[in-house]
Amino acid sequence: MTDWEKKAAAKRAQRDALLPQDLVQCDTSELDVLAFPAQSGNLSRQELEITDSQNITVLLDRIKDRTYSAEQVVRAFCRRAAIAQQLTNCLAEVFFDRAILHAKNLDDEYMRTGKPRGVLHGLPISLKEQIGVAGVERSFGFVGFLGRVVERDAAITALLVEAGAVPYCTTNVAQHLGFGAAVNNVFGETTNPSNRTLTSGGSSGGEGALIALRGSVLGIGSDIGGSVRIPAGFSGIYSLRPSYLRFPYEGTCNSQEGQESLRSVLGPMAASIDGLKLAFKTVLDLKPWRLDPAVLRMPWNEERYQLSEHGGGKNLVFGIMVDDGFVRAAPPYHRALDQVSSALKAAGHSVVEYKAYDAGMGYHLFGEVWTADGHKDLYDTLALSGEPRVGPLGSGPEVVQEEQVSVTKYWEIQYRKQRFLKAQLDHWNATEAVTGSGRPVDAILCPVSATAPQTLRGRQYYGYTAWCNLADYPSAVVPVTRVDQAKDPKVAREAYHNDLDRELWEMYDPEVYKNAPIGVQVVGQKDEDEAVIRMAEIVDAALKASRAS
């Protein structure tokens, strides 16, 4: 065993020793383990009632009316998180004892003052491992960073605590936070609880798996500097990717000089749709620009949430894109978007086809921006311990720079990017000619990926999320369905857009990907975060109504 392997093994042992030791080992060969926590016998009736809450707002109300104490809620989620860890290897750092003490203090304060700490009083919050928690190690999935303890809470952590939330764990990530699976040499690989031969996405895959198993109901994942966010779509949960500079940020540069030179968009991930608005509005109401100089002074906009620029939310027109013209999405996404389309029409809205603007060029530009440093940062960090690289470089874009580009070259890339984004915006606005509403399409509905959740470390295409990051379009993910072998058969095609399109289409196998979660994105234009949240709620409500009818 090499030195780095010994250090990683010691770290995992340290983490495991902090988990509850009275839990019966979850020994199962089942691929779908979503129901296993409730069947394991490890949770009491009350713990199941708490962790199975179907609505985060209702759970918070039950803490505030003292149906549950904050301590009871935190203890329940700590135990369920430990079960989720056994099943999917989703946790990085655990600090349950500290969280339970925090909850006790909140209970004492509430008893003494009669006032909850804040909107999130007593709610356990899980955090992606990159997010700083004072006194807790943060490695970004690198052996070379083990032993580095965060000195102070990140801005997002501090704001959540100020609102009454109780951080209790951090979750597994992709090495370097740079590809679509949560795997690294420190904590290993996180699997998808719906089918453990598949990935739960990345780079926030640990967060996605934990929430899917209800080891958390609300957590913070991320989009990294133009990277992709697919854990929610791959884990069957809700998520929001805010506009850049509207939500608190955290350093993600893995340099030895403080890890603060790159920024990442941090977005809420939740077990129920109400969690997106709850988390986003709560943080904005606490004025995050007080703590993070990069955050714009843009408070919550209620008019935007009420869709004042979109006919007040009545007779919305959605553009549906199942094929971006570069890589066609796999069959389950066709069925999912058909379901969404039918549900929205039944709810009184309209749906039109949306054709992407030159997705191949956008994907190419994304690759140029994402790999502009020639992966120097990655290689320098790997050299700290001698550990190997894990996962694909660039994780998908066909343009992968192996050498750093010059400043002049980088600005040339940015110039081409801005010209592309202008043309793309004009393309979107031109849809006014076909909507009949006097507006362009109000939002675009599209897949989370061209592929279903892939086999562990399998090939993925990020174009359906990368275009949002490139243009700074906020997007929300709504879970829709799961891969069904009978309903989602492999389909032959006579023609393909390119070799990548052929490779990914032919890779699809409904038996391999059975039960994999399939989510749909709701994409809005820049800074329409509140509108995207509301339209995601409308999509979700329409789906639920259609299933109930």
Structural tokens at position 66:
């003292």
DSSP state of 24: P
Give the start-end residues of each E strand in 297-442.
317-320, 350-353
Residue type, 449: S
Report which secondary-structure segment, H or E, holds 166.
strand 166-171
Q: CA 241 to CA 476: how far, in whole Å?
A: 6
Report which secondary-structure segment, H or E, holds 270.
strand 264-270
Q: Which residue has the tokens 């058909």?
A: 338
Q: CA 270 to CA 159: how far, in whole Å?
A: 17
The pLDDT value recorded for residue 254 is 44
Give the start-end residues of each E strand in 443-496.
443-447, 475-482
The pLDDT value recorded for residue 248 is 85
Burial class (CB in 10 A: 0-12, 13-18, 19+), 83: buried
Q: Which residue has the tokens 């016998």?
A: 41
Please report, in range form, the residues annotated as the binding site.
177, 203, 224-227
The series of mean pLDDT values per 10 residues for the chain, 549 residues long, is 97 97 86 94 97 96 98 98 97 98 98 97 96 95 96 94 98 88 95 96 93 97 55 86 83 42 69 97 96 93 98 98 97 98 98 97 89 85 94 51 84 96 98 98 96 87 90 95 97 95 95 96 97 98 96
Based on C-alpha coordinates, what's the Rg of the chain?
22
Please report, in range form, the residues annotated as the binding site for substrate.
177, 203, 224-227
Q: 3-class DSSP state for residue 483?
A: coil
Q: Which residue has the tokens 């990907």?
A: 513
Residue type, 243: S
- Sequence-ordered list of residues with C-beta below 8 angstroms from that of 241, at least 6 positions apart, any chain: 223, 229, 265, 267, 465, 468, 469, 474, 475, 476
Q: CA 110 to CA 104: how far, in whole Å?
A: 10
End-to-end CA distance of the chain: 59
Report which secondary-structure segment, H or E, holds 191.
strand 191-192
Q: CA 407 to CA 418: how far, in whole Å?
A: 16
Give the ranges where 126-271 is alpha helix by DSSP (H): 155-162, 205-212, 231-235
Q: So which residues are the catalytic ones?
A: 128, 203, 227
Q: What is the pTM of this model?
A: 0.96
Q: What are phi and psi of 171, to 5 degrees?
A: -120, 160
Residue type, 144: G
Q: What are phi and psi of 433, to 5 degrees?
A: -70, -20
Q: 94 and 38 in contact (C-beta within 8 Å)?
A: no
The pLDDT value recorded for residue 360 is 95
Task: Write down how long the chain is.
Answer: 549
DSSP state of 188: E
Burial class (CB in 10 A: 0-12, 13-18, 19+), 492: exposed
β-bridge mates for residue 170, sequence order: 127
Output the CA torsion 520→140→185→466 (10° steps). 30
Q: 242 and 288 in contact (C-beta within 8 Å)?
A: no
Q: 202 and 222 in contact (C-beta within 8 Å)?
A: no
DSSP string, 206-244: HHHHHHHTTS-SEEEEEEETT----HHHHHT-EEEEPPT
The pLDDT value recorded for residue 459 is 83
Q: CA 240 to CA 220: how far, in whole Å?
A: 10
The pLDDT value recorded for residue 227 is 44
Q: Which residue has the tokens 């032993």?
A: 147
Domains of the chain: 3-18+45-290 (3.90.1300.10), 305-548 (3.90.1300.10)
